[in-house]
Structure 1
């Protein structure tokens, strides 16, 4: 197995959850992906594998809602046909030095736990869960940077929404230090926004918060990834994304901030 460095970049919004009470439909989606992942790790002799631990800090725009932090195991894998990157995984449909097209699956950690709110009214709203997303991703590399694009939809029937994420990245390396700034935007479908920021008539009656049904939105963001390799095989990293929320989201009575952010950091060992 190669001992080349493969530093992790976490793309806001990903991990894997397989609950004991998951229904049969969901297991039909998750279990084949798990078997494919296991098979690819075993058979690919030229793969690069990094393992470690990390933490995600999610700062959502909900009213009277504290930052949520979650520790998680880091698995970073790169093979000829299959990859894992932070909280997501993919299978290459096309892969060369310039262009990469993948089928992807990732966990979107966006969520609202009503019990975590300090607002009496917000506590009477329903919980919004994180969800598993699946779709396609495309990366085009040039000497001036890379275009990254993804189209994905909810496969766990939580939001039934879709998202499009597109960004331009520039990677700079100086010895063991790597920094990658990016600018981009994320489009949320109306279903996606309605699940996370809408207020139904039922919730309005329970909480006294006015009803709200948002449309689709476009949300620009800035992203920064940094990593540092030390002792040959160890790597520490940090990834942050800051998103300017559109009026469709900030007009929600659930929301009090015009920005949300996510920060991930951790340490990995490359085998």
Structure 2
């Protein structure tokens, strides 16, 4: 089973936080399955198991692949120091494209930074600014979204619209092609700049009992020109779908 990419990480990380606040639960455990696409040429979509682990306290939180420490935490505003594992990667052997199989591998990393949420009667803002801490890409990623939570009995639906910004170092590491790689693969060399990737997302949660719930999440992300112009990429968008069941203590 292949490791999930950054899109999956960002969505599961954000959705877990959204679900945790919706349920007002200290601890939630569960499992599900996810399907995620890759923008690289002749990369197959991955189907993988998804663990759901959410923990909330007044000072600490842990959601999915990340966690944090609250610097400010009240009903309207939540500011925290955060760190999360971002397993965005490129493994040449996972592509069926002969040229991409000759490129260098791009590795996953640990991201760290600040996360902020602001709640109003019209919805809530969710934003995170984080940078690579393991000297892989030396990149920075900023994600911001506005979401609205609607609850009707046991059903909670949370649509959202957002944008993710990737720095030039981030895009260069994962989508750039060096002159050395170009000479080996036959692909043109490519230097990537920073870019904005708008997206739509939707999460649905249905309470079966006071403790058991089923959920579904999805995101459609439109890739920036800095990504789609890469000779490694043959798609203008990517997306994720996930569904599962959770138990709240």
Matched, 1:270 2:248: yes
State how far apart, in whole Å, the 1-side matches of 2:74 and 2:105 are.
Answer: 43
1:243 corresponds in structure 2 to 221
In structure 1, the partner of 2:3 is none
Alignment check: 8 A CA contact 2:109 2:134 kept: yes
Q: Which piece of structure 1 moves more, 114-123 or 104-113?
A: 104-113
1:157 is matched with which residue?
A: 135
* Per-residue deviation, 1:191: 0.5
RMSD of aligned Cα (Å): 1.8
Unmatched runs of 5 consecutive residues or more in structure 2: 1-8, 15-23
Q: Residue 196 of structure 2 corresponds to which residue in structure 1?
A: 218
Measured in 2, the distance between the counterparts of 1:82 and 1:269 equals 20
Aligned counterpart in structure 2 of residue 67 of structure 1, from 42, 45, 59: 45
Provide closer, same or farther for how the CA distance between residues 55 and 156 of structure 1 changes in structure 2, counting only shifts above 3 A.
Answer: farther
Residues matched between the structures, number: 232
Where does structure 1 lack aligned partners over 5 or more consecutive residues? 1-9, 16-45
Counterpart Cα distance in 2 of 1:177 and 1:157? 43
- Of the three residues 153, 164, 189, the one matched with 1:186 is 164
Q: TM-score, with normalisation over the residues of structure 2?
A: 0.88
Q: Is 1:197 the equivalent of 2:175?
A: yes
Equivalence map 1:1-271=2 (5 Å): 11-12=10-11, 14=13, 48-271=26-249
Distance 1:133 1:76, change over 3 A: same
Contact persistence 2:165–2:196 (CA under 8 A): yes
Tell me if structure 1 keeps the 8 A contact 2:228–2:236: yes
Q: Distance in 2 between matches of 1:175 and 1:140?
A: 24
CA distance in 1, matches of 2:163, 2:109: 20
Query: Could you tell me how far 1:14 is from its partner in structure 2?
Result: 4.8
Deviation of 1:13 after TM superposition, in Å, equals: 6.0
Deviates more, 1:106-115 or 1:233-242: 106-115
Question: What's the CA shift string for 1:80-101, capped at 9, x where partnerless?
Answer: 1111122221110000010110
Contact map agreement 2:39 2:234 (CA 8 A) in 1 = yes
Contact kept in structure 1, 2:12 and 2:64, CA below 8 Å: no
Counterpart in the other structure of 1:36: none
Per-residue CA shift, 1:98-151, capped at 9, x if unaligned?
Answer: 011011111223222211111111111122222221100111110000011110
Shift of 1:252: 0.3
Deviations 1:185-218 (A, max 9, x none): 1110000001111011221122111110110001
